[in-house]
Chains A and B, each alone.
Chain A
Amino acid sequence: MELKITEKTSAGLCEALFEEFDLLRNGLSDAHRASAVSKLAVQIINTKKLEIEAASFHKAGLRFEPLALTASGIPIGHHESN
């Protein structure tokens, strides 16, 4: 099977989803795979939507502070004792 590379744009994502519709209609894919593809697509879309929202805030003048992580990471589950 030829390796298909998706164009990494929103239009490319639409193309990939259309291809999945075609595969499903022609019996070359199954419902579980289609469900997984749709869930993955929604995750990608939500990430992209967040990026667009962040870009609009940035355009409006809001500056974001980068999240500083320590080399050892952030301890979870207990407070740092003084």
Chain B
Amino acid sequence: MNPISFAKETDRPHVHGEVRNKILSLLNEIDAVYKNHMRKSTGKTCDICGKGDTDEIHKVKDVASGYSNRENLSPCLCYNHWHGWNISYFKLERDRKAQLLGLNRRSGGPSDRLQSILEIERTVFEEPVLSDEEIDLHFAHYLAKQLRKGAKSAIKL
């Protein structure tokens, strides 16, 4: 039994009550420290749209996917752009893994596609499957698409 489930148990309060209350108060303290920290603004803004932190979930991420080995070069992205880039990046990474394993993700029925996804997920690649150059290039493509989108909406207005 871990401390959290122990603290939430209600049996034999006359024996464990005091200890349980102490654990619960410590948990509440930890929760308050955590929330206080998470609500604090990072002071950073998104490099694409210029938006800052909106709440504790939608904080500006200072390390984008694919840039963990060179944090100093990573762009800062708001939640929406970080999410969009993640989808794009992981699609490219999965395609490359499928290529390396000789799988065709586009062919066959849903069960074949599921099998190839499972095989990709089960395989451990010792080295990164994408080079820094490829990640930069793919990120440039993502940026170009975002710029195009921004320009299009500005023209419509």
Contact = CB atoms under 8 A, between A and B. Distances in A.
**Interface majority SS (helix, strand, loop, mixed), chain A:** helix
Contacts of B75: 14, 18
Interface stretch (B10-18, B27-35, B110-118, B134-142): B134-142
B58 interface: no
Q: How big is chain B's contact interface, by range? A: 20 to 34
Given A31-B151, A32-B151, A17 B144 contact: yes
**Chain A interface bracket (under 10, 10 to 19, 20 to 34, 35 or more):** 20 to 34
A17 B140 contact: yes
Nearest to B143: A17
B126 to A, nearest CB: 19
Interface of A: 9-11, 13-14, 17-18, 20-21, 24-25, 30-32, 34-35, 37-39, 41-42, 45, 48-49, 52
20 contacts: A9-B136, A10-B137, A10-B139, A10-B140, A17-B143, A21-B48, A24-B154, A30-B154, A34-B147, A35-B151, A37-B147, A38-B144, A41-B141, A41-B144, A42-B144, A42-B148, A45-B141, A49-B137, A52-B133, A52-B137
